[in-house]
């Protein structure tokens, strides 16, 4: 089931969201139901689990474990359906806060810091992938086990300190890492040199001004769009002058 | 036979890498090989210039920090885009050199553009999967195992094909433009790099500032560590 969880969003769409993925991941456990894959309990359970569902992909393991346990324990279907509906919101919100808004940016900023410190390309890539995926796989494994262990009482697992307080601590580490990473990474990318020489000095003056503009324009223009316009204008000037 | 040789040597690896990295964004296995710092570096390494790929990947990573893949929103698809960007950045670079100035700018522009288009192709893919699933809803409601597995396999295969085609479609014109811009580029290396880095570093700084605003003290920590980092760079540490 853990391996199948890696493909949980394989058929993500606007109609079922990751519902079919939940059915796909729970399916091996359902084979334990009376009659096996040809039995009515198996078919009814698979149909229930393949209906609309959405959650964070890493934390969906909590739902998968809990739903698999409930089906194997032959909990009444109406309770399973109610429980399944109730799980969608919290798993999405907690996972987004912990992974997409904290762990992933923290690891990205670490990679930028390593780049700035002159680590080799393979060293940067390997460090990023190892650090990120240690957290990733620990979370997926814990979620699946906790779901299976707690069954329909899995809501208590959402109170785990890492889920509750993790984003705060990771966010602080990311802020420090980001502050250190940006000057080092920018310095390496422009080819080094004394900070008081023209190019590094220009970068260290222009960058905070641009950042300030982007912060003030937050919500009105995306940074990538501004960079795109800037670089296209720069490239056109360079090739046509 | 130059054309088939170019196709084999460049387009096949681009298609494979773009497919795998694009698949990783959402469908399988989400281990973040699709992040620019990874995929651009790997693409650069594939074309013999890992340092140039990393420099391009680090710049795109600064931009990717701004768009978090939260929920069902439409976001840029950086996986296949970074493969194309890394391959462009590698053109004309040696194993240990940074990208050439025109290639650096073009790689970032192509990376951003491809990621933006890639975001739309993911929306179309999701609609395609929904339309594939629609006639099969009765079978899903009846608990057909083959339908559940088949839908999952269809979605992943379509995503792999989407990302591969996107990679090729972006690489062919970008590669031609790369050779042309190399010949006509007039601005020196230093100012070109400065323009790229000032832009992407500003986006990254604004992203960190905005992303962690809800956590008390993070902005002060960020400013303090920024000051420490800048001082260390100035001291030549």
What is the pLDDT, as a whole number, of residue B59?
A: 98
pLDDT in tens, A137-185: 999 999 999 999 999 999 889 899 999 999 999 999 999 999 999 999 9
For B176, list phi and psi in degrees, rounded to 5: -65, -40
- The alpha carbons of chain A give a radius of gyration, in whole angstroms, of 24
Please indicate if any CB of chain A lies within 8 Å of the CB of B182: no
What is the pLDDT, as a whole number, of residue B72?
A: 66
pLDDT in tens, B99-135: 999 999 999 999 999 999 999 999 999 999 999 999 9
Q: Which residue has the higher pLDDT, A49 or A197?
A: A49
Please indicate if any CB of chain A lies within 8 Å of the CB of B161: no
What is the pLDDT, as a whole number, of residue B3?
A: 54
Q: Which of A27-41, A59-73, A196-210, B1-15 has the lowest mean pLDDT?
A: B1-15
What is the pLDDT, as a whole number, of residue B82?
A: 98
Q: Do residue B230 and residue A204 have CB atoms under 8 angstroms apart? A: yes
- Which residues are CB-neighbours of B98 under 8 A, at least 6 positions away? A189, A191, B51, B52, B55, B104, B193
How far apart are the C-alpha atoms of B33 and B23, rounded to whole Å? 10
Q: Which of B65, B69, B104 is nearest to A111 (CA)?
A: B65
Please indicate if any CB of chain A lies within 8 Å of the CB of B189: yes
What is the pLDDT, as a whole number, of residue B7?
A: 63
Mean pLDDT of A195-222: 91
What is the pLDDT, as a whole number, of residue A195?
A: 76
Q: Do residue A112 and residue B61 have CB atoms under 8 angstroms apart? A: yes
- Which of B121, B229, B237 to mutate: most A Cβ within 10 Å? B229
**Collapsing DSSP states into helix, strand and coil, what is residue A202?**
helix
Minimum-distance CB partner of A129 among B38, B189, B208: B38
With beta carbons under 8 A apart, name residues in chain B contacting A37. Answer: 145
Minimum-distance CB partner of A9 among B26, B206, B223: B26
What is the pLDDT, as a whole number, of residue B54?
A: 98
**Collapsing DSSP states into helix, strand and coil, what is residue A53?**
strand
The number of angstroms, rounded, from the C-alpha of B197 to the middle of its chain's C-alpha atoms is 17
Give the torsion sign (CA, B83, B149, A51, A48). negative
**Collapsing DSSP states into helix, strand and coil, what is residue A13?**
strand
**A residues 144-163 closer than 8 Å to B (CB):** none
Report how far apart, in Å, the C-alpha atoms of B193 and of each of A104, A233, B40, B56, B187 are. 27, 15, 17, 11, 10
What is the pLDDT, as a whole number, of residue B6?
A: 65
8 A C-beta contact, residue B25 and residue B154: no
What is the pLDDT, as a whole number, of residue A89?
A: 83
How far apart are the C-alpha atoms of A235 and B178, rounded to whole Å? 11
Confidence of residue A219 (pLDDT cuts 50, 70, 90): confident
Q: Which of B191, B101, B227 is nearest to A202 (CA)?
A: B191
What is the pLDDT, as a whole number, of residue B5?
A: 65
Report the chain B residue with the minimal C-alpha distance to residue A195. B234
- Cβ–Cβ contacts within 10 Å for residue B56, how many? 36
How far apart are the C-alpha atoms of B83 and B111, rounded to whole Å? 8
What is the pLDDT, as a whole number, of residue A24?
A: 98
What is the pLDDT, as a whole number, of residue B69?
A: 77
Please indicate if any CB of chain A lies within 8 Å of the CB of B155: yes
DSSP 8-state assignment for residue B89: H
**Collapsing DSSP states into helix, strand and coil, what is residue B180?**
helix
Q: Which of B193, B108, B130, B206 is nearest to A202 (CA)?
A: B193
**Res. A19: pLDDT tops 70:** yes
Report the chain B residue with the minimal C-alpha distance to residue A117. B237
Question: Is the peptide bond prior to B29 cis by the omega test (within 30 degrees of 0)?
Answer: yes
Structure tokens at B33: 């090989």
Burial of A75 (0-12, 13-18, 19+ CB in 10 A): middle
Please indicate if any CB of chain A lies within 8 Å of the CB of B127: yes
Q: Which of B9, B70, B209, B86 is nearest to A178 (CA)?
A: B209
pLDDT in tens, A109-140: 999 999 999 999 999 999 999 999 999 999 99
- Which of A96, A115, A175 to mutate: most B Cβ within 10 Å? A175
With beta carbons under 8 A apart, name residues in chain B contacting A45. Answer: 143
Percentage of chain A lying above the pLDDT 70 cut: 100
What is the pLDDT, as a whole number, of residue A155?
A: 87
How far apart are the C-alpha atoms of A15 and A132, rounded to whole Å? 31
Q: Tens digit of pLDDT per residue, chain B (237 long)?
A: 555 566 678 999 999 999 999 999 999 999 999 999 999 999 999 999 999 999 999 999 999 999 877 766 788 999 999 999 999 999 999 999 999 999 999 999 999 999 999 999 999 999 999 999 999 999 999 999 999 999 999 999 999 999 999 999 999 999 999 999 999 999 999 999 999 999 999 999 999 999 888 888 899 999 999 999 999 999 987
* Strand stretches in B72-231, DSSP E: none
pTM of the model: 0.96
Length of chain B: 237
Please indicate if any CB of chain B lies within 8 Å of the CB of A177: yes
With beta carbons under 8 A apart, name residues in chain A contacting B206. Answer: 211, 214-215, 218, 223
């Amino acid at each position: 089931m853990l391996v199948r969880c890696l493909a949980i969003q394989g058929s993500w769409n606007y109609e079922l969201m990751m519902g079919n993925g939940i059915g796909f991941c729970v399916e091996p456990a359902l084979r334990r139901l009376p009659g096996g894959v040809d039995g009515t309990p198996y078919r009814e359970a698979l149909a229930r689990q393949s209906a609309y569902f959405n959650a964070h992909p890493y934390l969906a393991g909590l739902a998968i474990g809990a739903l698999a346990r409930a089906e194997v324990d032959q909990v009444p279907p109406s309770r399973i359906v109610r429980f399944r509906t109730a799980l969608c919101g919290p798993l999405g919100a907690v996972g987004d806060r912990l992974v997409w808004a904290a762990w992933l940016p923290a690891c990205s900023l670490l990679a930028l810091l390593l780049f700035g410190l002159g680590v080799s390309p393979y060293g940067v890539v390997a460090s990023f992938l190892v650090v990120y995926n240690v957290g990733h796989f620990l979370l997926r494994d814990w979620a699946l086990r906790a779901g299976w262990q707690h069954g329909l009482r899995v809501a208590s697992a959402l109170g785990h300190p890492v889920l509750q307080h993790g984003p705060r601590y990771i966010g602080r580490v990311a802020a420090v890492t980001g502050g250190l990473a940006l000057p080092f990474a920018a310095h390496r990318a422009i080819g080094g040199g004394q900070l008081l020489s023209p190019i590094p000095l220009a970068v260290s003056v222009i960058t905070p001004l641009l950042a300030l503009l982007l912060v003030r324009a937050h919500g009105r223009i995306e940074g990538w769009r501004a960079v795109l316009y800037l670089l296209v204008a720069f490239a056109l000037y360079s090739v046509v002058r | 036979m130059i054309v088939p040789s170019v196709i084999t040597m460049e387009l096949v690896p681009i298609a494979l890498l773009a497919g795998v990295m694009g698949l990783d964004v959402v469908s399988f296995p989400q281990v973040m090989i699709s992040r620019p710092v990874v995929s651009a570096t790997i693409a650069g390494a594939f074309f013999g210039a890992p340092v140039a790929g990393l420099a391009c990947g680090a710049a795109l990573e600064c931009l990717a920090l701004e768009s978090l893949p939260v929920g069902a929103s439409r976001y840029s698809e950086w996986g296949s885009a970074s493969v194309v960007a890394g391959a462009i950045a590698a053109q004309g670079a040696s194993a240990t050199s940074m990208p050439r100035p025109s290639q650096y700018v073009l790689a970032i522009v192509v990376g951003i553009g491809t990621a933006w288009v890639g975001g739309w192709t993911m929306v179309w893919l999701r609609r395609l999967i929904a339309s594939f699933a629609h006639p099969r809803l009765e079978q899903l409601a009846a608990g057909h195992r083959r339908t559940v597995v088949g839908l999952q396999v269809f979605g992943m295969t379509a995503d792999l094909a989407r990302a591969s085609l996107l990679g090729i479609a972006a690489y062919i014109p970008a590669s031609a433009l790369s050779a042309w811009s190399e010949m006509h580029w007039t601005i020196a290396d230093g100012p070109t790099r400065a323009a790229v880095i000032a832009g992407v570093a500003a986006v990254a700084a604004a992203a960190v500032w905005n992303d962690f605003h809800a956590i008390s003290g993070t902005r002060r920590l960020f400013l303090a560590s920024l000051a420490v980092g800048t001082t260390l760079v100035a001291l030549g540490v």
